[in-house]
């Protein structure tokens, strides 16, 4: 058996005197007390203080009236409030309170997980949309660049935002279009998924439309005839007007329709 020092014995004495130690510890303390007078005296003090405490708190006799008073007060209170014992719900009876907490926590975590997944999905969709829009814009720009001889920067800018478009839009949007023509053009192109909502498509060849497009006379005179395609989207505020310069041969409506379909 290991030797116990006085410090350790002193720590264990409060529990030893009331038999609260494990057997092995109790034997160690007993062995130490047998050899140590100081600790034995301390153990005696603990024992006498417990006796004194027990004596000080001996259950007092309060008398039958005291208890009867408590009972009648309780019963009167119950009767006055019309209280009934609470009955636990079937769920609580079956599973207990701890399981209810666990189930609530699991539901909360599940809800958080679903919400997170939803937000991620929405973020992915918006990224895909942006990527799709960029792709469409690039596709639009490429044929234009191939067919149209590149005008001066000023004319090009004017072509991106035709005056007719500006005239039909709301004042606020008009202002935006005039400030950010390129960006706005990207925005008004309908998505592939929105094609079903396109209500009305007008395809017309507008001879001399350049007069409304260009502001420089020299440029307008040299510009070829322009095909005008109007697409009304489901949103009444958004109408897509596409002006493309025509080649010298006669316009082919099938081709225009095909291009229009591609754009959607």
Partner 1 sequence: MAAEIAHIFMTGAQELPPHARDEAHADRLSSLVSLARAGDSLAFERLMVETERRVVATAWRLLGNREDARDAAQEVYLRVFKYMGRFRAGEDFQGWLYRITVNVCHDLARKRRAAGGEQLDDAGLEREERTAFENLRRDDADTESATLRAQRLALVRRALLTLPEKERAAIVLRDLEGLSTEEVASALGSRAVTVRSQISSARAKIRDYCERLTRTGGTAQ
Residue 74, interface with partner 1 (CB under 8 A)? yes
| Nearest approach, Cβ of residue 119 and partner 1 (Å) | 40
Report if residue 48 touches partner 1, rule: CB under 8 A. Answer: yes
Q: Which residues, other chains included, contact 163 with Cβ-Cβ below 8 Å and sequence gap of 6+?
A: 212, 213
Residue 84 interacts with partner 1 (CB under 8 A)?
A: yes
Q: Are the C-beta atoms of 227 and 243 separated by less than 8 Å?
A: yes
Is 41 one of the binding residues for partner 1 (CB under 8 A)?
A: no
> Which residue of 6, 35, 75, 94 would you call a contact of partner 1, by CB under 8 A?
75
Distance of closest approach, residue 11 Cβ to partner 1, in angstroms: 8
Residue 238 contacts partner 1 per CB under 8 A: no
Residue of the chain from 6, 35, 78, 110 that contacts partner 1 (CB under 8 A): 78
Position 73 contacts partner 1 (CB under 8 A): yes
226 vs 244: CA distance, rounded Å: 5
CA dihedral defined by 125, 130, 183, 174, rounded to 10 degrees? -20
Task: Of 43, 48, 51, 41, give the one whose Cα is nearest residue 14.
Answer: 43
Contact flag: residue 235 with partner 1 (CB under 8 A): no
Among 3, 23, 37, 55, binds partner 1 (CB under 8 A): 55
CB of 108 to partner 1, least distance (A): 24
Q: Decide: is 153 part of the binding site for partner 1 (CB under 8 A).
A: no
Q: Which stretch binds partner 1 (CB under 8 A): 86-94, 107-115, 132-140, 177-185?
A: 86-94
Residue 6 in contact with partner 1, rule: CB under 8 A = no
- The residue within the footprint of partner 1, chosen from 2, 3, 23, 60 (CB under 8 A), is 60
Query: Should residue 56 be labelled a site residue for partner 1 when binding is judged by CB under 8 A?
Result: yes
Interface with partner 1 includes 24 (CB under 8 A)?
A: no
**What's the Cα-to-Cα distance from 204 to each of 7, 8, 61, 244, 245, rounded to whole Å?**
105, 103, 110, 11, 12
Total residue count of the chain as it appears in this document:
264
Which of 87, 170, 217, 248 binds partner 1 (CB under 8 A)? It is 87
Task: List binders of partner 1 among 244-263 (CB under 8 A).
Answer: none
As measured in angstroms, the least distance from the Cβ of 96 to partner 1 is 8
Is there binding between residue 25 and partner 1 (CB under 8 A)? Answer: no
Binding site for partner 1 (CB under 8 A): 11, 14-15, 17-18, 20, 45-46, 48-50, 52-57, 59-60, 62, 66-67, 69-71, 73-75, 77-78, 83-88, 92, 96
């Amino acid at each position: 058996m290991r030797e116990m020092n006085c410090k350790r014995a002193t720590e264990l004495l409060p529990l030893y005197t009331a038999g609260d130690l494990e057997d092995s510890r109790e034997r160690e303390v007993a062995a130490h007390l047998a050899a140590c007078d100081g600790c034995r005296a301390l153990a005696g003090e603990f024992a006498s203080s417990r006796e004194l405490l027990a004596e000080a708190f001996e259950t007092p006799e309060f008398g039958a009236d005291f208890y009867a008073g408590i009972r009648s007060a309780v019963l009167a209170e119950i009767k006055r409030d019309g209280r009934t014992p609470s009955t636990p719900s079937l769920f609580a009876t079956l599973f207990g309170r701890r399981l209810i907490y666990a189930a609530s926590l699991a539901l909360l975590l599940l809800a958080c997980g679903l919400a997170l997944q939803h937000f991620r999905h929405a973020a992915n969709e918006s990224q895909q949309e942006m990527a799709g829009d960029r792709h469409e814009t690039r596709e639009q720009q490429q044929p234009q660049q191939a067919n149209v001889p590149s005008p001066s920067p000023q004319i090009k800018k004017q072509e991106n935002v035709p005056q007719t478009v500006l005239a039909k839009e709301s004042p606020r949007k008009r202002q935006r279009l005039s400030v950010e023509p390129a960006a706005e053009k990207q925005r008004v192109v309908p998505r592939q998924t929105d094609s079903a909502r396109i209500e009305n498509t007008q395809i017309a060849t507008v001879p001399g439309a350049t007069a409304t497009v260009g502001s420089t006379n020299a440029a307008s005179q040299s510009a070829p005839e322009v095909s005008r395609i109007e697409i009304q989207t489901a949103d009444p505020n958004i109408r897509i007007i596409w002006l493309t310069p025509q080649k010298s041969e006669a316009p082919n409506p099938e081709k225009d329709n095909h291009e229009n379909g591609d754009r959607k």
